[in-house]
Amino acid sequence: MKKANETLELLNRHVSVRQYQDKPVSEEQLTAIIEAGQMASTSSNVQAYTVIAVTEPGLKKELAHLAGNQVYIEQCPVFLVWCADLYRLRGAAAPHLQDEETYEDSTENLLVATIDVALAAQNAAIAAESLGLGIVYIGGIRNRIAEVAERIGLPELVYPVFGMCLGYPAAETGQRPRLPLAAVLHRNGYQADTLQEQVQIYDEVSSAYLRERTGGKNAAPWSALMSKRLAEPVRLHMKDFLQSKGFLKR
């Protein structure tokens, strides 16, 4: 299909940016980006997220370190920490409540807040790209999440879901191919039977891409990379951390 409009073209051009120009993001741009984020759908209008714009060089440096020494966090002019936030909701609700039991600690409400923040962040990412800026999501802020939360003063019922670097791209980045559409889009029910075939197709595509990008040094197929990813004990502290913040208790 001919990409029929500016927005579709923009969505299809997305790449993660890991090198930024030394050029500020204006207050006007930041406002436009976060306001566009707010226009995303939100479950029952809970708007269960807060985004912390970090511009203080010392704080950016610390967060870069806590996220596993990702230098672009330090380099980008604005580092956004996207937080799931049920603290504001509970604070807003409190004056209307007597002794009723409340459910901010449920798995459902953790998911609601996590989805809310992701929808808003993705809108913001697209808004940023429409303004000529680049972004990259940073899951690494969950590496040492308790320290991150403490450093930016998060109260209970708030957790940092991911970070996002924001700034003018300094370099062209290749666009990583995605899984075949048929792997991801099923019809009227889950189609497990074609899974193996789709993975094989993608293994070839992703291996060829990696080979080209690394000048022949690496050509690991996707499935091999994923096996390493799954066998890695990543962030096993998350459950305890979330429960310590008042989430996920039932």
Tell me which residues in 220-239 interact with its own copies (CB under 8 A). Answer: 222-236, 238-239
Q: Which among 25, 238, 64 is positioned nearest to 145, based on CA atoms? A: 238
Task: Tell me how far, at minimum, the Cβ of 215 lies from its own copies, in Å.
Answer: 20
Q: Is 139 in the site for its own copies (CB under 8 A)?
A: yes
Task: Indicate the angle between helix axes 6-13 and 107-130, nearest 10 degrees.
Answer: 110
Q: Is 83 in the site for its own copies (CB under 8 A)?
A: yes
Burial 186-219 (b: 16+ CB within 10 A, else e): eeeeeeeeeeeebbeebbebbbebbeeeeeeeee
Q: Is 190 in the site for its own copies (CB under 8 A)?
A: yes
The residues, any chain, with a CB within 8 Å of residue 23's CB and separated by 6 or more, are 77, 167, 168
**Closer CB to its own copies, residue 69 or residue 102?**
102
Q: Is 113 in the site for its own copies (CB under 8 A)?
A: no
Q: Is 114 in the site for its own copies (CB under 8 A)?
A: yes
Q: Is 66 in the site for its own copies (CB under 8 A)?
A: no
Q: Is 176 in the site for its own copies (CB under 8 A)?
A: yes
- 25, 66, 67, 104: which one binds its own copies (CB under 8 A): 104
Token pair, residue 160, equals 């940092």
